[in-house]
Structure formats: structure tokens, C-alpha cells
Amino acid sequence: MKTRDDIRNIAIIAHVDHGKTTLVNELMKQSDTLDSHTEIADRALDSNDIEKERGITILSKNTAVRYGDKQINILDTPGHADFGGEVERIMRMVDGVLLVVDAFEGTMPQTRFVLKKALEQHLTPIVVINKVDRPGARPSEVVDEVLDLFIELGADEDQLDFPVVYASAMNGTSSYDPDISTQEHTMKPIFDTIIKHIPSPLDNSDEPLQFQVALLDYNDFVGRVGIGRIFRGTIKVGDHVTVMKLDGTTKDFRVTKLFGFFGLKRLEINEAHAGDLIAVSGMEDINVGETVTASDTKEALPLLRIDEPTLQMTFRTNNSPFAGQDGKFVTSRQLEERLKTELETDVSLRVDNTDEPGAWVVSGRGELHLSILIETLRREGFELQVSRPEVIYRDIDGKKSEPFEEVQIDTPDEYTGSVIDSLSQRKGEMQNMESTDNGQTRLTFLAPSRGLIGYSTEFMSMTRGYGILNHTFKKYAPVIKNWNPGRKKGTLVSMNAGKATTYAMMGVESRGTLLIDPGTDVYEGMIIGENSRENDITVNITKGKNLTNVRAAGSDDMARIKTPVHLSLEESLEFLNTDEYCEVTPDHVRLRKQILSTNEREKAAKRARHN
């Protein structure tokens, strides 16, 4: 069988922060791709601002590098399980994977998640043990951990015989030996291993066309762009082809533009052949998983399976008293159109209308997935309100079921008891507990997803920031009954509108934890703090001091309050209870009660008690 020896298609997979994107950077730098004048930024493929700030990959990116007479197409995938929808599709586009594992941390939950996807597609693996220069690195032990994971996930004999390269992507060094003294400033061992071990794609360019879309992009000039792999045949600009739609219908179109990938650039090309990864424009409504075929030979490839969402939130137009003060886009029509645009490229997302005008149920793969969408919207100038995240229940074999996640925790030994206790209260079942020589304990739990909503903030304060928490979707199981894991403490709620004063805050701070600064504009029903007890308290946060003489007026300068706690967007979403909203604008993240009027809220609470 004829193959194309001039190209290799690989995906780089790893747990969050094990160095995938940095490694891709170094492969680009040390390949024959960039000319000597091209400056390349750190983690160049993490192209949007949120990716750069958080140091995570959200969207899969593809690039291509030259190595001698070979072209290596590289797909950089997200490491976080919330973006697993991206990882699954990528696996169909490639013939092998580079599994990157941190030489200190070893295999982690998402290592398992991404490797499982690769092994299911029978891809050829290469293992890169990265960060070998890190203090406490244990490369040889980590290789054993990786082998155990391969066996546990049911790898076949060929996959178990994986080659290993040791590297420090940050320093641009690698070698075939775990001994750090053998590291040299070159990526040659990695390139050579890719060329030697990753299979070449089949060369069946003379057969009828089959091209499958795995990623979507959108461009204002050319519209929707389908990115994928040619599995068979040849495609040229101007060709008349047929899209085999997901619903079984077909649609004809003409190929207006083709793009190939080279380094950081997307270059226009006139034709492409079997094995190539390309982008095609000219198809208005093409979707992920659809097959583009020759018009006279309509044979669809198997559909791509995408994991269903497990978490949902209600997005609403902002109707608070401060609505429209910050944002450019505040109407329900603008928000609805933007959510529909997001569906163009994010196939793991669902947006459903509700009976209420200006409200939509948005479903995603996890808190991070949805919070990044909210952060993106606010940066673009949108105002909105969102409800507490809720898990999506399913009916399985006649039983109401909820999602459960595998939780892996690494914590200093002294916090182990607190962590076990806190997860037990959230209905987590401990599966495993291992102690390491360096005073750390690794705990593994199976916990319901709704018990993990809001847990990361509690976990970080409990372990003084030294703990590492990872969780990934495991399965649906029967619902745990008679249990509500919501926030246990109540809130401090403003009873009127105005500016918060230091004087009023001094009188309130003994009741709980303040979440706003003096001088903050507030409205009735806005949450200004967390109560130290379980009930909500309505407080006057705008009260000024009665000025009885000149001297008293100046003495306010001496007033001191404890520094308020400022919640990030994620922390605000985790803080929410079922009767609260998070108001998000380009400049502010506020917490509020759904019913703003104090009187109306009290009446609603009475009705609820009587029912």
C-alpha cells in the first residue's frame, strides 16, 4: 500500500500545564520552518488573550513545521477536560500522538483522559518526559507510571512498545537518556522519533474525494471555514463538491479557497491531497463531523462523537438598576446573536431558548468552559446576568442520574484530613490514597459533579494554596437523594441604593465578610458580603455619620475596616445560590438577589415556607 513519506500528522496531548504549547514553540524554532528574522513569542499558538493570561490552551491549534524534506503537521490540543470536545475530534485527524508528561508530577487525571481518547483511535504514541530539569524530577519513575497507565487503559502490544524522549521544552533541550547531563540544545531526538515511529498517511489521492471537518473557524471575509483532513482523493480550488450533512441530507457547493498551514501562517493553496490537513471555505453551514465528497461518489465517513454537556447555566439580559452603564451590547437580540455565533465554532456548547424572553439555558462541559465564555463576552462589551451552575440530569434505564467525576488531589500531608473530611461532606468516595517521600499525599475520589461546584475556592484556602486539584468526568450514576450541596452561609444584602460608606461598613463587618470597597455604588438587593451564619441579612451599607461638629467630620479619616475580599468571576459563579444572579459587565462583576426588592423577597420566602 502506497504512503506519503513526505508528511506526518501528530497531535500533542497532555495534562494542563505539562508544557505542550511550549514544546510546540520549541519545535517551530528548531525546525526548518521560520527564517532567521522571524521572532516567535512564548506559547505562540495560544493566540487569544484569555489563553495567554491563564497559560492554558482552550482551542485546538494546528501548525506545520519542516524538518529536512519532511512536513510535520502538529495539532496542539487543550489539556483541560472542559475542552475535551476539542481533543476527541483532533484524534481523527492524526496518525500518532506525542504524550507530554511532567517529570515531577507524573501522570495526572487529564493525562488519562487524553491518552484514553488516543488509544481508542489506535494511534501510535511517543512519550515525551518534559521538565527533566525541574527540582525533584523523577523521569525514570514517571516512565513506569506512564507504562502502568497504558496497561490500565488497555493499550495493545504495539502501543505498549512506545519510544521515550526526555526534554526541557523551556530550555529547548532533549535527549534519549533520563540523565539530565545528557540534555543537549536540540529537538533532534523528538523530530527523529516522529519521523521514525509515526506512520505516514495513505496515498490514495487518485480515488474519489473524502474530507472530514474536525474544527471550525470563522472569518469575516470568507465566512465559515472548515478545518480537517483529506482521507482520500484530491481537492482543488474551483471544484464542485458535495457536503454529506449530519442529518443525512446533501448540499453541493464550489470550493472558493483552500488554505494550508505552515509555521504560524495559514497560506492559500490551489490543491491538496490525501493525508493533508487543510482549511476549506465556501461552505456556509458546514458542521463538525460532516464529510465533503466528490459529487459523483457520495460516501460519508463515520460521524465524530462529541461528549455531551454536563453543566448548565441560565444567561439573561442585564436588568439590574445599573444595566447599560458599562456595556456596548445590552439587548436580548445582541446577546442571542452572539451566543449563536459561539455555536458556529464551539461544538461542545448548547444554547436553548426558555419560556422567558431574554433568557437562555447555556450548557457546557464544566465550570471553566462556561466561565471562559462569560469572560469572553464581557471583554467584547456585553452585559449579562447568569445563574448558579447546575448539573444536567439524565434518565438512564428509568433512573434519574447525575454526572460523577474522578477527583485527584495532591496536597501536603498536614491538610490531608481536612481534604478528606470536606470531600466526604460533598459525597465524595475515596478510591485511593498514596503518600510520597516529599511530604505529599495523593488522594483519588469519585464525587458527584454538583458537589464539586464551588469546591476549588474552599480547597485552595483549606490547603493554603499548596494543594493541586484536578477532576474529570467519569460517568453518570443514580442521583444521591435528600442532599443539597449549595452554599451553607447566608449573605449581607443592601437594603437601599447609594454609595457604600466606611462608617456603615464598620458597623456591618462584624456580621461576616465584606465583598465590596468603600465608595462602591450599590443598589437594593445587591449582595455586599457573606454572612457568618446561614441566613441572609438586609443591611444599610450607605449610612453616613451624623455630623454634629467640625471635629467629627474629619475623624472619619481615622476609620479602618478589614480589607474586603474581591471575588474573581469564577469565584463569583461558585458563590451563587439558587436565588441569586451574577451580573457581569465589561467593568464589573456584581452579585445580586434575583428578587431585588426587600419586601418582595420576604413575601416570596414566606410563600415558599408555607408551600
Q: CATH no. for residue 160?
A: 3.40.50.300
Task: Please say whether the beta carbons of 250 and 244 come within 8 A.
Answer: yes
Residue pointed to by grid coordinates 456548547: 349
442 and 548 assigned to the same domain:
no
Structural domain includes residue 219: yes
What is the pLDDT at residue 178?
87
Is the per-residue pLDDT at 595 higher than 50? Answer: yes
- The DSSP bridge pattern shows strands 537-539 and 491-494 to be parallel
Structural domain includes residue 336: no
pLDDT band at 22 (very low <50, low <70, confident <90, very high): confident
472 and 497 assigned to the same domain:
no
Structural domain includes residue 541: yes
Q: Which of 97-106, 147-156, 548-557, 581-590 has the lowest mean pLDDT?
A: 548-557
Q: What is each CA distance from 478 to 364, 399, 423, 427, 475, in whole angstroms?
A: 21, 6, 19, 13, 10
Residue-wise pLDDT tens digits, 522-560 = 999 999 998 888 888 899 988 877 665 554 444 444 457
In this structure, is the dihedral angle defined by the CA atoms of residues 233, 234, 240 and 244, taken in order, positive or negative?
Answer: positive
22 and 136 assigned to the same domain:
yes
Residue pointed to by grid coordinates 476609620: 559
Q: Is 585 annotated as a binding residue?
A: no
Structural domain includes residue 353: no
Residue pointed to by grid coordinates 428509568: 398
Task: Please say whether the beta carbons of 14 and 111 come within 8 A.
Answer: yes
Q: CATH no. for residue 511?
A: 2.40.50.250
Task: Please say whether the beta carbons of 249 and 277 come within 8 A.
Answer: no
Q: Is 196 annotated as a binding residue?
A: no
Residue-wise pLDDT tens digits, 236-259 = 888 888 888 877 788 888 888 888
Structural domain includes residue 379: no
DSSP state of 526: B
Q: What is the DSSP string of 91-116?
A: HTT-SEEEEEEETTT-S-HHHHHHHH
Q: Is 21 annotated as a binding residue?
A: yes
Q: How many domains does the chain have?
A: 4
Residue pointed to by grid coordinates 458527584: 448
pLDDT band at 41 (very low <50, low <70, confident <90, very high): very low
Chain centre to alpha carbon of residue 322:
30
Average pLDDT over residues 225-237: 87
Enter the pTM of the model. Answer: 0.71
Q: Can you state the angle between helices 84-91 and 109-120, rounded to 10 degrees?
A: 30
Residues in contact with 413: Cβ distance below 8 Å, sequence separation at least 6, in sequence order: 435, 439, 440, 441
Residue pointed to by grid coordinates 451552575: 389
Higher model confidence: residue 253 or residue 59?
253
By the 10 Å C-beta count (0-12 exposed, 13-18 middle, 19+ buried), 366 is classed as buried
Q: CATH no. for residue 227?
A: 2.40.30.10
Task: Please say whether the beta carbons of 233 and 299 come within 8 A.
Answer: no
Q: Which of 172-181, 242-251, 279-288, 522-531 has the lowest mean pLDDT?
A: 279-288
Of the chain, the percentage scoring pLDDT greater than 90 comes to: 15
Q: In whole angstroms, what is the distance from residue 14 CA to residue 110 CA?
A: 7
Residue-wise pLDDT tens digits, 60-104 = 456 788 888 888 888 877 644 444 555 667 788 889 999 989 888
Q: Which of 268, 187, 153, 145 is nearest to 12 (CA)?
A: 187
Mean pLDDT of the chain: 82
Task: Please say whether the beta carbons of 111 and 139 come within 8 A.
Answer: no
The C-alpha cell that represents 481 in the structure block: 437523594
Structural domain includes residue 371: no
What is the pLDDT at residue 553?
47
Q: Which of 132-146, 167-181, 557-571 has the lowest mean pLDDT?
A: 557-571
Structural domain includes residue 205: no
29 and 125 assigned to the same domain:
yes
pLDDT band at 387 (very low <50, low <70, confident <90, very high): very high
Is the per-residue pLDDT at 458 higher than 50? Answer: yes
Residues in the chain: 611
Q: In whole angstroms, what is the distance from residue 58 CA to residue 547 CA?
A: 55
445 and 586 assigned to the same domain:
no
What is the pLDDT at residue 282?
72
| Phi and psi torsions of 270, nearest 5° | -95, -30
Q: Which of 459, 434, 592 is nearest to 515 (CA)?
A: 592
Domain that residue 284 falls in: 210-294
The C-alpha cell that represents 592 in the structure block: 445580586
What is the pLDDT at residue 547?
60
Give the residue from 294, 324, 343 where a domain finishes: 294
Give the residue from 197, 219, 253 where a domain finishes: 197
Q: Is 158 annotated as a binding residue?
A: no
| Phi and psi torsions of 391, nearest 5° | -75, 155
Q: In whole angstroms, what is the distance from residue 611 CA to residue 603 CA?
A: 12
- The DSSP bridge pattern shows strands 164-168 and 124-130 to be parallel
464 and 528 assigned to the same domain:
no
Give the residue from 294, 312, 328 where a domain finishes: 294
By the 10 Å C-beta count (0-12 exposed, 13-18 middle, 19+ buried), 560 is classed as exposed
Q: In whole angstroms, what is the distance from residue 231 CA to residue 205 CA?
A: 9
Structural domain includes residue 79: yes
Q: In whole angstroms, what is the distance from residue 496 CA to residue 508 CA?
A: 14
Is the per-residue pLDDT at 348 higher than 90? Answer: no
79 and 188 assigned to the same domain:
yes
Of the chain, the percentage scoring pLDDT greater than 70 comes to: 88
532 and 591 assigned to the same domain:
yes
Q: Is 131 annotated as a binding residue?
A: yes
Is the per-residue pLDDT at 220 higher than 70? Answer: no
100 and 133 assigned to the same domain:
yes
Q: What is the DSSP string of 458-497?
A: HHHHHTTT--EEEEEEEEEEEPPPS---S--S-EEEESS-
Average pLDDT over residues 158-169: 89
pLDDT band at 260 (very low <50, low <70, confident <90, very high): confident
Q: CATH no. for residue 461?
A: 3.30.70.240
23 and 143 assigned to the same domain:
yes
Give bridge partners of residue 470 from the DSSP assignment.
408
Q: Is 18 annotated as a binding residue?
A: yes
The C-alpha cell that represents 239 in the structure block: 471544484
233 and 188 assigned to the same domain:
no
541 and 401 assigned to the same domain:
no
